[in-house]
Amino acid sequence: MEINAQMVKELREKTSAGVMDCKEALKMNAGNLEKAIEYLRKKGINAASSKFNRQTLSGKVESYIHLYGKLGVLVEVNCETDFVANTEEFKEFIKNIAMQIAASNPRYITRKDIPKSIIEKEKDIFYAQVEKSGKPAPIIEKIVEGKLEKYFQENCLMEQIFIRDNNKNIEELLLELIAKLGENILIRRFARFKLGEEI
């Protein structure tokens, strides 16, 4: 199939990718726009992954106050340069992350941050919940693994579904930003305060 300028233009408008990348994506997917978008997204995410080892010494701290001052979030997001830290895309991302934390109350950034003792405790609880079912041990093991995965998805910020787009999680949102801005970006730490909450 011949790839014309109009097709390239339409794909560029939807993805902000370069002309040559758009041509390649359309050629690889026989002119199918949706598949070309997916192709570019995967390519961008792969390129973004290679930036993970680069140092992030710049960035911003963002605050978000909700419910008339009854809920507040502070989050630090790092990047490589002040230039990127001052882009609208970076500022929008960090605001979205602060709102995500306020709405979804994650306890950790990634599953690697969860102490082993907490994971073992949760596993014990899940086993206790399903052991009485009388199911065979391999089935119980699979059920517990499923419950543990759900625990990670609910409690780890990077695995939570983005509150403004149910089609992606926070890790995918971060990878898209890294691919777009061309720098490593790291959600370093956060704190969530709720009025009257037990310390």
What CATH number does residue 36 fall under? 1.10.8.10
**Same domain membership, residue 102 and residue 166:** yes
**Domain contains 136:** yes
**Same domain membership, residue 127 and residue 43:** no
**Domain contains 124:** yes
Q: Who contacts 157 (Cβ-Cβ below 8 Å, separation ≥6)?
A: 97, 100, 101, 104, 106, 108, 109, 110, 170, 187, 190
Residues facing residue 192 across a β-bridge: 73
Strand order across the beta sheet in which 186-194 lies = 58-66, 71-79, 186-194
CA distance 123 to 148: 7
Residues facing residue 31 across a β-bridge: none
- Asked which of 155, 170, 186 is the last residue of a domain, the reply is 155
Kindly give the parts of the chain with pLDDT less than 50: none
* Dihedral sign for Cα atoms in the order 82, 83, 84, 85: positive
**Domain contains 137:** yes
Q: Is 121 exposed, middle or buried (0-12, 13-18, 19+ CB in 10 A)?
A: exposed
CA distance 135 to 45: 41
Closest CA to 157 of 107, 114, 118: 107
What CATH number does residue 183 fall under? 3.30.479.20
Q: Give the per-residue pLDDT at 190.
A: 98
Closest CA to 113 of 180, 189, 172, 42: 189
Give yes or no for a contact between 133 and 140, defined as CB atoms under 8 angstroms apart. yes
**Same domain membership, residue 163 and residue 150:** no
Q: Give the per-residue pLDDT at 82.
A: 94
Q: Give the per-residue pLDDT at 177.
A: 93
Q: Give the per-residue pLDDT at 37.
A: 84
Counting every residue written for the chain, the total comes to 199
pTM equals 0.73
What's the domain range around 145? Answer: 115-155
176, 181, 183, 187: CA torsion to nearest 10:
-50
**Domain contains 199:** no
What CATH number does residue 128 fall under? 1.10.286
Q: Give the per-residue pLDDT at 51.
A: 66
What the block records as the tokens of 83 is 């230039």
**Same domain membership, residue 178 and residue 150:** no
**Same domain membership, residue 69 and residue 42:** no
**Same domain membership, residue 44 and residue 65:** no
CA distance 78 to 184: 8
Q: Give the per-residue pLDDT at 14.
A: 75
Tally of structural domains, the chain = 3
**Same domain membership, residue 67 and residue 11:** no
Q: Give the per-residue pLDDT at 47.
A: 61
